[in-house]
Amino acid sequence: MKARLPQGVGRGAPNNMQGMLQQAQKMQADMATLQEDLAQREYSATVGGGMVTAVVDGKHSVKSLEISKEAVDPDDVEMLSDLVIAAVNEAIRQASTESEEEMGKLTGGLNLPGLF
């Protein structure tokens, strides 16, 4: 009596595995390309009615910070600090959100920890 193999195991399994491996390699290459692209993008956030503008790149590094003269009050340095923090955090949030959305499109919604 011949033993029955589970479906997908047997002659066709190596071809299926090879196809899956090729798909995984393509996804990995596509993800690397997308990560490089995302790292080059810039994200800008303006707060305080235009008093502070922060620009970060896709790596979350601050590229520029513009502070209007109206935002500089020697008697209220804390407000300026708050505005700078808010602008930088918002720009980083934009970068993170776009990265997650773009990677989600590429991975079909798979949650792949540590990739982005």
> Is 43 in a helix, a strand, or coil?
strand
pLDDT, the chain, mean: 85
User: What does the alpha-carbon distance between residue 51 and residue 71 come to, in Å, rounded to a whole number?
Assistant: 6
pTM: 0.71
pLDDT tens figures, 11-57: 555 678 888 888 888 888 988 999 899 999 999 999 999 999 999 99
Domains in the chain and their CATH numbers?
13-107 (3.30.1310.10)
User: What does the alpha-carbon distance between residue 57 and residue 104 come to, in Å, rounded to a whole number?
Assistant: 19
User: What does the alpha-carbon distance between residue 30 and residue 109 come to, in Å, rounded to a whole number?
Assistant: 15
> Is 49 in a helix, a strand, or coil?
coil
Q: In 1-116, where does DSSP find H-type helix?
A: 13-40, 77-107
Residue 103 has pLDDT above 90, yes or no: no
User: What does the alpha-carbon distance between residue 30 and residue 94 come to, in Å, rounded to a whole number?
Assistant: 22
Residue 81 has pLDDT above 60, yes or no: yes
Backbone angles phi, psi at 102, to 5 degrees: -65, -45
Per-residue pLDDT, 116? 46
Q: CB neighbours (10 Å) of residue 43? A: 21
